Amino acid sequence: MPEAILEMKNVTKSFGKRRSVRVLDHADFALEQNRITALMGVSGSGKSTLARLLLMLDTCDEGEILYRGRPVNMAKRRESLAFHRRVQYISQRPESFFDPMYRLRSSVMEAARIHRLEPAKASDRLSQLLEQVKINEAVLDRYPYQVSGGEIQRVALCRALLPEPDVLILDECTSMLDVSVQAQILNLLRDLQKEWNLTYLFIAHDIEVVRWFTDRAVLLSEGKIREMNLHNADGSLFGCG
Amino acid sequence: MIRYIIKRAASAVPVLLGISVIAFALGLLTPGDPARMALDRDGMSEITQEMLDAKREELGLNDPAPVQYGRWLWRVMHGDFGTSYSDHVSVGGELLRRLPVTLQLTFCSVLLVIVFGISGGILAAAHAGKTLDNILKVLTNLMLSFPSFWMAILLVIVFAENLKILPTSGAGSVRHLILPSAALASVNIAMTQRLMRSSMLTEFGKQYVLVANAKGIRRWQVLFAHAFPNAVIPVVTMIGNYIGGILGGSFIIENVFSLPGIGSYALAAIHARDYPVIQGYVLVTGTTFVAVSLLVDLVCAGINPRMRLGGKML
């Protein structure tokens, strides 16, 4: 069985007054190393909340998040910084993914500055990544509103891959793109995953995309996470394996 | 950026011309004969028709309105706003003498709004839903509920009458400006704080803030390097409008605190139907407002690349 790189154990998360809305209810979930795991669920089921918890951007009411088998102490700057370097995030809204006040280059290189990557090395890696995602370097001198959704998603990929992460959390990252661009980005993501040995959490709605793109899928429903069988003979959507 | 400045400055010219036309029309359309008023001012006890005709010719009142406007505009551009009907003093000189008081009052009020409004808004947003946010919410509600003249009276009672730490009226030092500027700023501090808070919370909800957090940037850096520059743009615009509001509405506070600014001068002129003064006041406040708007737009363009570049693709 593949090793778990990022996992949540017995996690509970609620919102609202008196924590009446329970999004996760003693949920267990593990992202297996070098695999693409899909997270599915209806709108409002808590997929993005789960992503935020895995990214350590929100705290669990109960339970814990483990990275490579041990909890991350976010109070320790060095530890939290190391975690944020290894676990990166790409969101669903390309138009608001980058700060509109900054040129794309500045936003992309910010990650390198924070994680104290050697400038020359970071620059070389960026050039390599740009070549891989097929983006002209001149695009980085533009502001976010001056480039298309597909270009933004490619730049976002460069931004996420620059600090050499292990895990990418892709929160419906292709849902706002048209079908042809979506296919290009997914192919690119797959190539990058193989080349850099990445682990993906692919949050999505489209079962066909999930079947084609991922190795494994889980379903978040009523606060619980269940394994899905994507290859049921009858093609049923949420058959549990 | 230079192209934007030229474009924006050029767009201000028709507005300034519009203000000048309105100010000129004010003198032209109001009741009373300027020739008679001028002769009265010269101390003529018995004014004959010949004298009136001669004076009209001298003042150019027989010329068509556009010619009169052109001549008036030329004089105004050279600082000659005419003479007050009431005290026979040069309007331009008197406005120039009083303008610094109003500008000092405006500057102090805006400073208070920037310091307390913006910082309060950031604090409230950073502690949204917590005790500090609730305290600030109650405070802003109170500040919004009190009209500025009421706040002025309250401040005088507390700080001048009871505590005796600040003067009740007059001008001449920074101490004289504290109470009037606080009274003038209170409502705007509350409004700015609320706008800043909601603007910051809007930015907190955007993806780029989430991404900045996910990058591992420190919370205060996310706040000041990312959320703040985006959130402050509508606040800067509002403060610009507020400056215009002070220039046009400071007369109440100037009267309460007996400040010799242009507001109190204009109020006295309205009572006395002193049209040259009112014309001068309209021109000065209008022009200052246009200049401030221009400055605000340039500041916003400096902050916001989309505004500077006009949303064009490179």
> For the segment A25-64, what is each residue's pLDDT rounded down to a tens digit?
999 999 999 999 999 988 888 898 999 999 988 888 999 9
pLDDT at B122: 96
- Both B164 and B284 in a single domain? yes
pLDDT at B313: 43
The arithmetic mean of pLDDT across residues A173-188, rounded, is 78
Give A60-96 pLDDT, tens digit per residue. 899 999 999 888 877 788 888 889 999 999 887 766 7
Compute the distance between CA of residue A158 and CA of residue A181 in angstroms, rounded to an integer: 17
* Minimal-distance CA residue of chain B relative to A94: B207
pLDDT at A234: 47
- Both B165 and B63 in a single domain? no
Residue A132 lies in a domain: no
Contacts of B313 in chain A (CB under 8 A): 146
Handedness of CA A214, A215, A221, A225 (dihedral sign): negative
Q: What is the CATH number of the domain that holds A30?
A: 3.40.50.300
Q: From first to last of its 314 residues, what are the pLDDT tens digits of chain B?
A: 778 888 888 888 899 999 999 888 887 777 777 777 777 766 666 778 888 888 788 877 888 888 988 988 898 888 888 888 777 889 999 999 999 999 999 999 999 999 999 999 999 999 999 999 999 999 999 999 988 888 999 999 999 999 999 888 887 788 899 999 999 999 999 999 999 999 999 999 898 998 888 888 888 999 999 999 999 999 998 988 888 777 777 888 888 888 898 888 888 888 777 878 888 998 888 888 888 888 888 888 888 877 776 655 44
* Minimal-distance CA residue of chain A relative to B210: A57
pLDDT at A235: 45
Residue at token pair 């303008």:
B99
What is the total count of domains within chain A? Answer: 1
Q: What is the CATH number of the domain that holds B172?
A: 1.10.3720.10
B207–A96 C-beta distance less than 8 A:
yes
Compute the distance between CA of residue A33 and CA of residue B76 in angstroms, rounded to an integer: 78
3-state helix, strand, coil in chain B (%, to 5): 80, 0, 20
Q: Best residue in A96, A109, A175 to probe B by mutation, most B CBs within 10 Å?
A: A96
Compute the distance between CA of residue B199 and CA of residue B196 in angstroms, rounded to an integer: 5
- Both B110 and B14 in a single domain? no
Residue B134 lies in a domain: yes
How many Å lie between the alpha carbon of B307 and the closest alpha carbon of chain A?
Answer: 11
* Minimal-distance CA residue of chain B relative to A140: B314
Q: Tell me what the pLDDT averaged over chain A comes to.
A: 86
Using an 8 Å Cβ cutoff, are A189 and A157 in contact?
Answer: yes
Q: Which residues pair with A186 in a beta bridge?
A: none
Under the banding of pLDDT at 50, 70 and 90, the label for residue A239 is: very low
B207–A99 C-beta distance less than 8 A:
no
Residue B93 lies in a domain: no
- Both B267 and B129 in a single domain? yes
End-to-end CA distance of chain A: 16
B129 touches chain A (CB under 8 A): no
Residue A11 lies in a domain: yes
Residue B277 lies in a domain: yes
A190 touches chain B (CB under 8 A): no
Under the banding of pLDDT at 50, 70 and 90, the label for residue A133 is: confident
Residue A156 lies in a domain: no
Residue B140 lies in a domain: yes
Q: Best residue in A57, A91, A99, A106 to probe B by mutation, most B CBs within 10 Å?
A: A99
Contacts of B314 in chain A (CB under 8 A): 141-142, 146
Q: Which two tokens stand for residue B172?
A: 């001449």
Is pLDDT above 80 for A181? Answer: no
CA neighbours closer than 13 Å in the CB half-sphere of residue A19:
10
Question: How buried is residue A16: exposed, middle or buried, by Cβ count under 10 Å (0-12/13-18/19+)?
Answer: exposed
Residue A233 lies in a domain: no
- Both B229 and B146 in a single domain? yes
Q: Which residues constitute the domain of residue B206?
A: 101-309
B210–A146 C-beta distance less than 8 A:
no
Compute the distance between CA of residue A210 and CA of residue A186 in angstroms, rounded to an integer: 10
pLDDT at A201: 95
Residue A46 lies in a domain: yes
pLDDT at B192: 96
- Picking from B19, B43, B77, the residue at the C-terminal end of a domain is B77
Residue A141 lies in a domain: no
- Both B51 and B162 in a single domain? no
Inter-chain contacts counted by CB atoms under 8 A, chains A and B: 64
- Both B55 and B147 in a single domain? no
Is pLDDT above 90 for A141? Answer: yes
Q: Which residues constitute the domain of residue A19?
A: 4-97+168-228
- Both B225 and B178 in a single domain? yes
How many Å lie between the alpha carbon of B244 and the closest alpha carbon of chain A?
Answer: 28
Residue B82 lies in a domain: no
Residue A20 lies in a domain: yes
Greatest mean pLDDT among A104-108, A205-209, B30-34 lies in A104-108
How many Å lie between the alpha carbon of B227 and the closest alpha carbon of chain A?
Answer: 9
Residue at token pair 């960026």:
A126
pLDDT at A241: 39
* Chain B residues 204-223 with a CB less than 8 Å from chain A: 206-208, 210-217
Residue B85 lies in a domain: no
pLDDT at B143: 92
pLDDT at A236: 52
Residue B121 lies in a domain: yes
Residue B165 lies in a domain: yes
Q: Which two tokens stand for residue B287?
A: 């022009």
Q: Which of B211, B212, B306 sits opposite A143 (nearest CB)?
A: B306
- Both B11 and B62 in a single domain? yes
CA proximity to B235, closest of B69, B142, B82, B122: B122
- The dihedrals phi and psi of A230, each to the nearest 5 degrees, come to -75, -15
Q: Which two tokens stand for residue B103?
A: 């500008």
B226–A99 C-beta distance less than 8 A:
yes
Residue A89 lies in a domain: yes
pLDDT at B307: 74
- Both B72 and B105 in a single domain? no
pLDDT at B240: 86
Q: Which of B216, B230, B313 sits opposite A100 (nearest CB)?
A: B230
What is the total count of domains within chain B? Answer: 2
pLDDT at A240: 44
